């Protein structure tokens, strides 16, 4: 799998001369992901102010620098995939995250989520999620108690730096409200993104449109996206009918939190997701189911990031088992 991805990456890099003239290795697939994230980033600025871009700039500088020094030891260059990691990591942070925490998180993501495995196409875990989980567990107060209400109306955050911190302390995300019995926003609010949350995870409609674009451009696996959502919807339906679900209805569970963002951008990472078609289905279903179990029965309201990391660790085994099953099946057919 690694060899196939690296071969594809070399083909995408274009002419050697063009490669040497740029700081980053060119990867058209990663540029398509960045393009799909651009409307979400713009909406994040509208919702939370221009501080969003300052966090992204700092995170990108730190992430690219960290990868540059590691790749330099291998006589290589950073790939454009590090930009995707920086964008994704930024968009799953709260708007008021301290700058130093954002820097620590992205450096951890690049170094321990990617470079210690050997660099691009060798990492086991999704780097952006790994960095997010690290800062979430290490700095829980800054990551869970500083949510802000988004700006509304025109020009919204385009004329502001960041929502007031005082208001942010008393606000909460839909998931926190579900767990704490607070006021729940309606389905329309969740669709329009007029709720507290991470910078890029509240843009429900834009995330769906990005998913459609990535599927059409064959950049993201529709099987992984749909099976993740089926796993979440199916498990929440069972809990809802049993009377033990914390959500008003199964659809609410999908629209709130990072389910859609995780399904579209994180679970579909071609490096950390299965390469076999059957593996993608199993991976997606189990990711959705595990996310619901963590949401419903643990202290962590957002289970998607933990679920993806857990399933990332089983991807090599999934591919080995399925490939072995296919080989044995073919041998039995030949023998018959």
pLDDT for 41-50, tens place per residue?
999 999 999 9
pLDDT for 103-162, tens place per residue?
999 999 999 999 999 888 889 999 999 999 999 999 988 787 667 888 888 888 898 888
pLDDT for 261-304, tens place per residue?
999 999 999 999 999 999 999 999 999 999 999 988 887 777 89
Cα distances from 64 to residues 55, 112, 192, in angstroms, run: 14, 14, 33
How is 190-247 classified by DSSP, letter by letter? HHHT-S---TTTT-HHHHHHHHHHHHHTTSS-HHHHHHHHHHHHHHHHHHHHHT--SS
- What are the two backbone dihedrals, phi and then psi, of residue 79, each rounded to the nearest 5 degrees? -100, 165
- Give the end-to-end CA distance of the chain in Å, rounded to a whole number: 30
Closest to 176 in 3D by CA, of 113, 256, 121, 96: 256
Q: Which pair of tokens denotes residue 17?
A: 């001369």
**Helix, strand, or coil (residue 25):** strand
Q: Are 302 and 175 in contact (CB under 8 A)?
A: yes
């Amino acid at each position: 799998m690694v060899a196939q991805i690296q071969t594809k990456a070399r083909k995408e890099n274009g002419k050697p001369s063009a490669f040497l003239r740029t700081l980053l290795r060119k990867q058209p697939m990663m540029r398509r992901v960045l393009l799909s994230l651009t409307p979400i980033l713009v909406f994040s600025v509208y919702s939370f102010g221009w501080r969003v871009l300052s966090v992204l700039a700092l995170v990108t500088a730190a992430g690219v620098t960290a990868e540059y020094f590691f790749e330099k030891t291998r006589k290589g260059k950073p790939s454009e995939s590090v930009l995707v990691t920086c964008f994704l990591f930024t968009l799953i942070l709260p708007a008021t995250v301290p700058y130093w925490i954002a820097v620590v998180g992205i450096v951890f993501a690049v170094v321990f989520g990617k470079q210690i495995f050997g660099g691009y196409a060798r990492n086991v875990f999704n780097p952006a999620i790994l960095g997010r989980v690290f800062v979430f567990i290490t700095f829980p107060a800054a990551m869970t108690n500083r949510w802000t209400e988004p700006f509304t109306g025109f020009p919204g955050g385009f004329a502001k730096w960041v929502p007031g911190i005082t208001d942010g302390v008393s606000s909460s995300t839909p998931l926190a409200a579900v767990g704490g019995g607070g006021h729940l926003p309606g389905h329309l609010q969740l669709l329009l993104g007029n709720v507290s949350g991470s910078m890029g995870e509240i843009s429900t409609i834009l995330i769906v449109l990005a998913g459609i674009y990535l599927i059409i451009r064959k950049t993201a696996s529709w099987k992984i996206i749909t099976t993740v959502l089926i796993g979440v919807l199916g498990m929440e339906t069972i809990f809802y009918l049993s009377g033990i679900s914390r959500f008003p209805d199964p659809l609410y569970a999908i629209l709130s939190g990072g389910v859609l963002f995780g399904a579209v951008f994180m679970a579909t990472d071609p490096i950390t997701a299965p390469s076999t078609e059957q593996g993608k289905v199993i991976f997606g279903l189990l990711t959705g189911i595990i996310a619901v179990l963590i949401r419903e029965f643990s202290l962590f309201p957002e289970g998607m990031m933990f679920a993806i990391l857990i399933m990332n660790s089983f991807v090599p085994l999934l591919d080995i088992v399925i490939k072995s099953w296919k080989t044995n099946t073919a041998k039995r057919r030949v023998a018959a």
